[in-house]
């Protein structure tokens, strides 16, 4: 061995780990292993502002239009579904309240007969339904409204004018503004 090779092979010798500048420039310009230069140029992305030309441009516009329409249709579907679910829940609650009106009438009659025993039950039932959206139609002394009142008795008044509800024969109920059962009333006028 020569002195130069011994020095290179010496255990304490240091080698330069930095690549030579000429070799680094060649590595940047060379294509990846297994590819030729033309394939690398073909795969390079188009400039950012470039607009595709030819039949691909029309097809892209069609796809974009279809995508925009589908997004709008899906947003409308989601909105309609949410509205329909809310309406179905409201109808279900109103139907339940309608079926409970017979129980409410029975508890009201029981409370009129024995207010100590049945009165608290009637009050609790009415409070629970009122919190859910039930509205009591009890129009004594108010003008007669055929949308909310059902006239069962009619008496004539001394002076002509709008008919007035004089007594309530059966309480009426509405659920969130929709009449479940009109109040049965006596009218004067």
123 and 104 Cβ atoms separated by less than 8 Å:
no
Written as one string, the DSSP assignment of 3-21 is HHHHHHHSTT-----SPPH
- Is it the case that residue 19 has pLDDT exceeding 80? no
Neighbours of 144 (CB within 10 A): 20
Question: Shortest CA distance to 128 belongs to which of 143, 154, 149, 107?
Answer: 107
Q: Which two tokens stand for residue 106?
A: 């029975």
Quick check: 61 pLDDT over 70?
yes
* CA–CA distance, 129 with 133 (Å, rounded to integer): 7
Q: Hey, CA dihedral for 15, 21, 26, 32, is it positive or negative?
A: positive
Comparing 56 with 69, the larger pLDDT belongs to 69
Question: 114 or 147: which carries more pLDDT confidence?
Answer: 147
Residue 66, pLDDT > 90, answer yes
pTM, 2 dp: 0.57
Q: Tell me the per-residue pLDDT of 136-161, one tens digit each, with 9 for 90 and over.
A: 998 888 999 999 999 998 888 777 77
Range of lowest pLDDT (58-72, 123-137, 152-166):
152-166
Integer Cα distance of 55 and 154 in angstroms: 81
- The Cβ of residue 172 has, within 10 Å, a number of other Cβ atoms equal to 21
Q: Read off φ and ψ for residue 11, nearest 5 degrees.
A: -65, -30
């Amino acid at each position: 061995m020569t002195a130069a090779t011994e020095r290179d092979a010496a255990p304490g010798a240091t080698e330069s780990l930095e690549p030579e500048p000429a070799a680094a420039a060649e590595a940047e310009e060379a294509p990846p292993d297994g590819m030729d230069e033309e394939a690398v140029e073909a795969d390079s992305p188009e400039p950012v502002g470039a607009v595709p030309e030819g039949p691909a441009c029309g097809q892209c516009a069609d796809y974009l239009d279809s995508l925009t329409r589908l997004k709008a249709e899906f947003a409308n579907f989601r909105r309609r579904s949410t509205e329909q679910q809310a309406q179905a829940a409201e109808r279900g609650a109103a139907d339940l309240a309608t079926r409970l009106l017979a129980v409410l009438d029975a508890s009201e009659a029981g409370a009129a007969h024995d207010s100590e025993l049945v009165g608290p039950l009637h009050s609790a039932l009415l409070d629970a339904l009122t919190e859910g959206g039930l509205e009591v139609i009890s129009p004594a002394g108010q003008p007669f409204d055929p949308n909310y009142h059902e006239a069962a008795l009619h008496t004539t008044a001394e002076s002509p004018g709008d008919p007035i509800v004089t007594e309530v024969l059966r309480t009426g109920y509405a659920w969130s503004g929709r009449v479940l059962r009109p109040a049965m009333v006596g009218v004067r006028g």
